[in-house]
């Protein structure tokens, strides 16, 4: 740290900081400890399933605060409950109010109280990424990848000339943008983006073209989003899991796909390579089911936290008995879902346009209905 102006004869002296300064590695931790202490003081407690979600509840009324560094969303049934939390925070910090949440961290939030729906989408973010990579005039496509497409290391550069040619392509930046869009609101591109992220170290022309195609697809479907419906008033978890056995041509690892739905819309979705090589399709499906069960238990714990139930049963993470234990305890039930209705299918393989459209619609991912 530079010596402040006006201090002389301090060439061989050390400066001791009395508090954290923005940019230091300790600053983030110091800030979180500070705001966490304030939250606890005003009656908010952090959820065990997610330390950045805080809940305040008493006599059937709840207020929620979702924290991301120094940005936050406050939610409650009434404005009075929201104002109570805001006033308590204003007594501790200098705050800037931005009104009802419409946009946060690249995600647009459209809350239609008359229809009882809440939609999350990333139209603006997709437009920004499209312009950043000069694809604003690119031809639209109706599928993020060709049906049955496989990407391999064999398509990576093998000569210095090929590697030099790829240095002009901002592949890592593009994949980073696609991963963020995928994680927030777009499970329909999760499979192909997961595939593309394998080649960050040595991408080839085919990998670059495949990534650009995903961006062109997002551009043509930028108004799609996840629509949550509160009309039925039920909170019921439904989870779908699937596996594509030995689909990685480089090491023959399988792909697990899971999607967890609440009220007909996804809240958790993943496309993930399995850590070990499955020796059969049944073993691959079992590994995918383990991943799905773990995510169901996390989601269940999160829902319990949100209604202030602090005592949750412990569970054993033993690989071979994990699913059986939770079925026996009536925590989860396992049912067969036919291929036609398997929503996780789009998270494990490259599908044709007709099949993808069906699964996207069935997963609650659609544009906002037209107003009449």
pLDDT computed for residue 22 by the predictor: 77
Instruction: Supply the pTM of this predicted model.
Output: 0.80
pLDDT computed for residue 316 by the predictor: 36
Residue 91: DSSP 8-state: T
pLDDT computed for residue 371 by the predictor: 66
Main-chain dihedrals φ then ψ at residue 81, nearest 5 degrees: -65, -40
- Closest of 126, 141, 165, 360 to residue 259, by C-alpha: 360
pLDDT computed for residue 323 by the predictor: 66
Sheet with 103-104, edge to edge strand ranges: 103-104, 107-112, 117-121, 225-229, 365-366
- Closest of 273, 210, 225, 266 to residue 245, by C-alpha: 273
Structure tokens at 264: 């007909």
The Cα–Cα gap between 146 and 124 comes to 26
**Spatial CB neighbours of 8, under 8 Å, sequence gap ≥ 6:** none
Task: Give strand pairing partners of 64.
Answer: 55, 75
SS3 sequence of 106-170: CEEEEEECCCCEEEEECHHHHHHHHHHCCCCCCCCCCCCCCCCCCCCHHHCCCCHHHHHHHCCCC
pLDDT computed for residue 317 by the predictor: 42
CA distances to 245, 296, 300 from 303, in Å = 32, 11, 5
pLDDT computed for residue 206 by the predictor: 93
Domains along the chain with CATH numbers: 27-99 (3.30.310), 123-220 (no CATH), 233-366 (3.30.420.10)
- Closest of 109, 111, 110, 104 to residue 69, by C-alpha: 104
**Spatial CB neighbours of 200, under 8 Å, sequence gap ≥ 6:** 171, 172, 175
Ranges in the chain, pLDDT < 50: 308-318, 320
- Closest of 72, 43, 113, 45 to residue 304, by C-alpha: 45
In the block, residue with structure tokens 């714990």: 301
Residue range 293-336, pLDDT digits in tens = 989 989 888 888 887 443 443 433 445 456 667 777 777 778 88
Residue 343 burial (C-beta neighbours within 10 Å; 0-12, 13-18, 19+): buried
Structure tokens at 276: 């070990």
pLDDT computed for residue 308 by the predictor: 46
CA distances to 78, 131, 321, 346 from 326, in Å = 37, 48, 9, 26
- Closest of 72, 62, 75, 63 to residue 92, by C-alpha: 72
Count CB neighbours of 126 within 10 A. 24
Sequential DSSP letters for 294-313: HHHHHHHHHHHHHTT-----
Structure tokens at 215: 């961006």
Residue 211: DSSP 8-state: H
Residue range 70-98, pLDDT digits in tens = 889 999 888 888 998 899 999 998 888 88
């Amino acid at each position: 740290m530079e010596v402040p102006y006006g201090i002389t004869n301090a060439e061989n002296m050390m400066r001791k900081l009395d508090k954290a300064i923005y940019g230091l590695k300790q600053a983030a931790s110091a800030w979180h400890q500070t705001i966490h202490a304030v939250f606890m003081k005003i009656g908010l407690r952090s959820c065990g399933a997610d330390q950045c979600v805080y809940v305040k509840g008493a006599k059937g009324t709840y207020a929620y605060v979702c924290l991301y560094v120094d940005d936050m969303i406050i939610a409650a049934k009434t404005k009075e409950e929201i104002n109570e939390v805001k006033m308590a925070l204003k007594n501790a910090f200098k705050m800037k109010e931005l009104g009802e949440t419409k946009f946060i961290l690249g995600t647009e939030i459209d809350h239609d109280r008359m229809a009882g729906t809440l939609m999350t989408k990333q139209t603006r973010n997709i437009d920004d990424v499209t312009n950043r990579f000069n694809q604003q005039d690119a031809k639209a496509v109706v599928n993020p990848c060709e049906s049955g497409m496989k990407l391999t290391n064999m398509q990576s550069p093998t000569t210095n000339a090929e590697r030099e040619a790829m240095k002009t392509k901002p592949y890592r930046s593009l994949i980073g943008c696609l991963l963020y869009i995928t994680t927030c609101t777009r499970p329909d591109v999760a499979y192909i983006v997961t595939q593309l992220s394998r080649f960050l170290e040595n991408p080839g022309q085919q990998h670059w073209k495949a990534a650009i195609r995903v961006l062109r697809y997002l551009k043509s479907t930028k108004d799609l989003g996840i629509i949550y419906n509160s009309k039925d008033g039920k909170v019921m978890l439904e989870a779908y899991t699937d596996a594509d056995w030995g689909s990685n041509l480089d090491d023959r690892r399988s792909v697990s796909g899971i999607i967890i739905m609440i009220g007909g819309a996804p809240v958790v979705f993943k496309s993930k390579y399995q850590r070990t090589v499955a020796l059969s399709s049944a073993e691959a499906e079992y590994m995918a089911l383990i991943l799905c069960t773990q995510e169901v238990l996390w989601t269940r714990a999160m829902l319990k936290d949100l209604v202030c139930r602090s005592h949750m049963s412990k569970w054993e993470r033993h690989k071979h008995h994990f699913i059986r234990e939770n079925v026996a305890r009536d925590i989860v039930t396992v049912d067969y879902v036919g291929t036609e209705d398997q929503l996780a299918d789009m998270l494990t393989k490259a599908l044709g346009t007709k099949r993808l459209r069906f699964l996207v619609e069935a997963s609650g991912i659609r544009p906002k209905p037209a107003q009449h």
